[in-house]
Structure 1
């Protein structure tokens, strides 16, 4: 199990290094973008989806 975790970590770091190189940035910049911009945006969008689903479910329950 430990080897799988190390392999996944290595693959993710390799992906980030290659993505940063394609964008003309450093690994540090790409990592900061991921954790300070992309992750919060995805979290807010997913919270919006959950709220929208709750509204839709309430409307469906009222129709019954």
Structure 2
């Protein structure tokens, strides 16, 4: 009682999408599963830098979510 449930944070990354009739397919879809005590966005940014040579000063990152507090923060 009074404890909050543990929530796994899994982020999906893709490089665009293709339409197949009425269906949409993500291009090069990958997943990042957050582990550890640091902030999810710090780990995710490191994942992007390692996997995609992401540069936050150069590259555009679009974030979409369900409005959960950890996303909107």
Q: Same fold (TM over 0.5)?
A: no
Question: Which structure features the higher share of helix residues?
Answer: 1
Question: Which structure features the higher share of strand residues?
Answer: 2
